[in-house]
Structure 1
Amino acid sequence: MANQTIARALEIPGATVHWYDKPDMRKQRKMGHITLVGPSVGVLEARLKSMLKEEGYENPSEVAPRVGIVMGSDSDLSVMKDAAKILNMFGVSNEVRIVSAHRTPELMYTYASSTRERGIQVIIAGAGGAVHLPGMVAALTPFPVIGVPVRASTLDGIDSLLSIVQMPRGVPVATVAVNNATNAGLLAVRILGVGDADLWTRMNQYQEDTRDFVLLKADKLRKDSWEAYLNR
């Protein structure tokens, strides 16, 4: 359990784990602590909330989901989890559901048409193969839908991508690259950030952190030879 907590903490930007390396564990014995640093209180709160949610200390039913993540099969979960990770990192409440356009059309209809009363403002829909789910959901709700084409066993996901981008006029579905649920999560945060100053600030900081990370790598490559850089 401790190893899992440490691993999850290390995935949070600005988190440092301090492990005391005590010889044995006992109930209520402090074995270490985690330090979080960030550019603002809002960012720190979001990162802490994300970590606590992963640990199960937060009851997700207490907060209405702002983003719904749906997929046609559990086989898509290995891709769609990346969207949930991004949303958790930004402190955006979300839910993950299996909703098949072909096998459970009634459930899909109920889910998509009930988004407003449940507080959902953006839907991320992943699908492969026939990929009807994103388009059908978009036809049933006025809220923005982001489609994630999932790579299937044939055609390398290109069929899924083309199916989503060729939606008829009047039923828009935003689309990301094949298997790129990370960008779907980021796009959902940007959409919500239009009316949420705190989210806008966090996204702005995320972009600055990404830029700084690239500049750091560029500086290392400039100072070292490319051989040394690759062998690090």
Structure 2
Amino acid sequence: MKISIIMGSISDREIADKIVKKIREFDIDYDVKVISAHRALNLLEDYVKGEEKETGVFIGIAGKAAHLAGVIAGMTIRPVIGVPVKSSTMDGLDSLLSTVQMPSGVPVATVAINGGENAAILACQILSLSDESLQKKLRDMKTQMVEKIKNTEYKYEG
């Protein structure tokens, strides 16, 4: 199974790059597209329906009126993760609320504003439910995080 990443705009590429970088660490196939839910709804629907058999998780990245992840969730039974994008309007709070406030029956797992890395990790965790080698990679990542914290020192220099 792969992870399909959809940006609402090419301006979201910095977040998509972080997602791709993290996904590559886990050796998972992925696909990245730019498809606006507002400007190209038919194209989005064709893509989601066409990729549904190969995709384990969809990630939608969008800012402002950030309906992309919700629209994707309305088109598929696959898990959908929304990444709200910080914009010049309301520091991304509008994006966060547009992504997280979904009607009953259309869930979108939502990460922090600009939280691409966590979206990638969550997608990997979802795929790991049926992949023991991926579970091991995730456990190793957690162990490395703990080791980094253990080895962090602070010395007051005042």
Larger CA Rg, structure 1 vs 2: 1
User: How far, CA to CA, are the matches of 2:56 and 2:86 in structure 1?
Assistant: 26
Instruction: Describe the SS at the equivalent of 2:55.
Output: coil
Deviation >6 Å, runs of 4+: none
User: How far, CA to CA, are the matches of 1:73 and 1:164 in structure 2?
Assistant: 15
Residue segments in structure 1 that go unaligned for 5+ positions in a row? 1-64
Question: 2:139 is matched with which residue?
Answer: 204
Question: 1:140 is matched with which residue?
Answer: 75
* Residue 153 of structure 1 pairs with residue 88 of structure 2: yes
1:120 to 55, 77, 82: 55
User: Pairwise mapping of residues 8-157 of structure 1 onto structure 2 (< 5 A)?
Assistant: 66-117=2-53, 119-157=54-92
Question: 2:112 is matched with which residue?
Answer: 177
Instruction: Describe the SS at the equivalent of 2:33.
Output: strand
When the two chains are superposed, the root-mean-square deviation of aligned CA atoms in Å is: 1.2
Asked if 2 retains the 8 angstrom alpha-carbon contact of 1:164 and 1:175, the reply is yes
TM-score by length of 2: 0.96
C-alpha deviations, 1:149-168, integer Å up to 9, x for none?
Answer: 00111100011101111100
Aligned residues: 158
TM-score by length of 1: 0.66
How far has the Cα of 1:226 moved from its partner?
Answer: 2.3
How far has the Cα of 1:79 moved from its partner?
Answer: 1.6
C-alpha deviations, 1:7-36, integer Å up to 9, x for none?
Answer: xxxxxxxxxxxxxxxxxxxxxxxxxxxxxx
How far has the Cα of 1:98 moved from its partner?
Answer: 0.2
User: How far, CA to CA, are the matches of 2:35 and 2:126 in structure 1?
Assistant: 23
C-alpha deviations, 1:177-210, integer Å up to 9, x for none?
Answer: 0001000000000000110000000000100000
Asked if 2 retains the 8 angstrom alpha-carbon contact of 1:115 and 1:121, the reply is no
C-alpha deviations, 1:45-100, integer Å up to 9, x for none?
Answer: xxxxxxxxxxxxxxxxxxxx600010111001112211111100110111111011
Instruction: Describe the SS at the equivalent of 1:226.
Output: coil
Residue segments in structure 2 that go unaligned for 5+ positions in a row? none
2:157 alignment partner AA: E
User: How far, CA to CA, are the matches of 1:140 and 1:96 in structure 2?
Assistant: 18
Question: 2:101 is matched with which residue?
Answer: 166
